[in-house]
């Protein structure tokens, strides 16, 4: 009869837990890099830098122009598009370099994320710390990262023709794919760093979970609408709050036909929808916080609910200030980062409500 060593099982379990923590910290760091990339993307958008690099060279594009001849070549390529001819006609080479470096940094950081993902992945896989379904899930996120690079180029391509900026539809697709990658990285990191589920009755868990899903879905939708506001430069109009000009509802809200297209192509309608959706987010979030406070939850889980109103207050303050000050760069970038922070808190709450694995 074989005798299983309790000490051996404990040692194996400790090694597995240490491996999971190492992988979890790596994924958490990657999610932080994605957040930085989102902020760089916001700067690129706000400084109208996104069309300054008209070539997609995933490998050699990591090398910037190194001499005057190369700088003039890439500047000449930029001068062929409508953005230069209509918006930036007469721009000097020095002014072009100012927008070039923002787009270059955005693309370079994306390449660094790819390296920071692939090399540790291979290391953990070779050491047996990342195998099976866990490895497949993580590698799937890596594939999404590659698709995000392609989506970014497809977005840039939309500004090559008669437009003076990129398509707001492709901009939102690019943003939401970034949000998906960020959320998946964060969720997998939490799975590894906090594998034990909180104990609470199933009926209570299910009710809070459904409420949390609604809140998270509304936050996600609000981020998407914010992408349309950014893509349409909707923050540059109606810069008072809570009214829009002299009215509660802007007079030009439905100037396009059919009516529903206004929310995607009319800056006034996009801004109004963004304001309206923020109210629904606030209702869902505050009511969930109240339910969490009243529920009989362990202290660690209850504390997570209390982070929600602080995230909401910060984001609302940033949003109103960004609008009323006519979209200053630091505030606008902070507002986009604040949206991801609120999304992060919502995922943190949802992870605490996940069911215990069988």
Give per-residue pLDDT as tens, 210-268.
999 999 999 999 999 999 999 999 999 999 999 999 999 999 999 999 999 999 999 99
Residue among 4, 159, 184, 168 nearest 82 (CA): 159
CB 210 within 8 A of CB 150: no
The CA R_g of the chain, rounded to the nearest whole Å, is: 23
The pTM of this model reads: 0.93
Q: What is the pLDDT of residue 11?
A: 62
User: Across the chain, what does the average pLDDT equal?
Assistant: 92
Q: What is the pLDDT of residue 196?
A: 76
Given a cut of 50, the residues of the chain with pLDDT beneath it are: 1, 358
Q: What is the pLDDT of residue 121?
A: 96
Q: What is the pLDDT of residue 358?
A: 38
Q: What is the pLDDT of residue 344?
A: 98
Peptide bond into 242 cis (omega under 30): yes
Rounded CA gap, 276 and 309, in Å? 18
Q: What is the pLDDT of residue 323?
A: 96
DSSP letter, residue 4:
-
Peptide bond into 258 cis (omega under 30): yes
Q: Is 209 exposed, middle or buried (0-12, 13-18, 19+ CB in 10 A)?
A: middle
CA dihedral 281, 282, 284, 287 (to 10 degrees): 170
């Amino acid at each position: 009869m074989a005798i299983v060593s309790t000490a051996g099982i404990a040692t194996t379990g400790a090694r597995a837990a240490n491996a999971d923590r190492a992988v979890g910290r790596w994924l958490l760091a990657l999610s932080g890099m994605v957040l930085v990339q989102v902020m760089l993307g916001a700067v690129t958008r706000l400084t109208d830098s996104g069309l300054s690099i008209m070539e997609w060279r995933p490998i050699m594009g990591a090398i910037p122009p190194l001499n005057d001849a190369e700088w003039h070549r890439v500047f000449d390529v930029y001068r062929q598009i409508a953005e230069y001819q209509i918006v930036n006609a007469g721009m000097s080479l020095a002014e072009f370099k100012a927008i070039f470096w923002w787009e270059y940094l955005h693309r370079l950081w994306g390449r660094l994320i790819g390296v920071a993902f692939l090399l540790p992945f291979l290391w953990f896989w070779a050491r047996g710390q990342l195998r099976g379904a866990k490895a497949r899930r993580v590698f799937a996120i890596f594939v999404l990262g590659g698709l995000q690079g392609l989506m970014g180029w497809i977005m840039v391509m939309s500004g090559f023709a008669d437009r003076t900026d990129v398509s707001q539809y492709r901009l939102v697709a690019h943003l939401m794919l970034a949000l998906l990658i960020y959320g998946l990285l964060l969720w997998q990191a939490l799975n590894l760093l906090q594998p034990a589920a909180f104990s609470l009755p199933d009926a209570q868990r299910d009710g809070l979970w459904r409420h949390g899903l609604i809140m998270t879905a509304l936050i996600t939708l609000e981020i998407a609408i914010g992408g349309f506001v950014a893509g349409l430069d909707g923050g540059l109009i109606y810069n008072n709050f809570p009214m829009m000009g002299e009215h509660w509802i802007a007079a030009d809200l439905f100037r396009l036909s059919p009516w529903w297209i206004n929310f995607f192509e009319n800056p006034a309608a996009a801004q109004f929808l963004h304001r309206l959706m923020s109210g629904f987010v606030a209702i869902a979030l505050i009511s969930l916080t109240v339910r969490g406070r009243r529920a009989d939850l362990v202290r660690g889980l209850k504390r997570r609910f209390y982070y929600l109103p602080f995230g909401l207050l910060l984001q609302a303050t940033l949003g109103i200030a960004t609008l009323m000050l006519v979209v200053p760069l630091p505030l606008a970038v902070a507002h986009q980062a604040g949206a991801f922070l609120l999304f992060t808190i919502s995922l943190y709450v949802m992870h605490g409500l996940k069911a215990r694995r069988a």
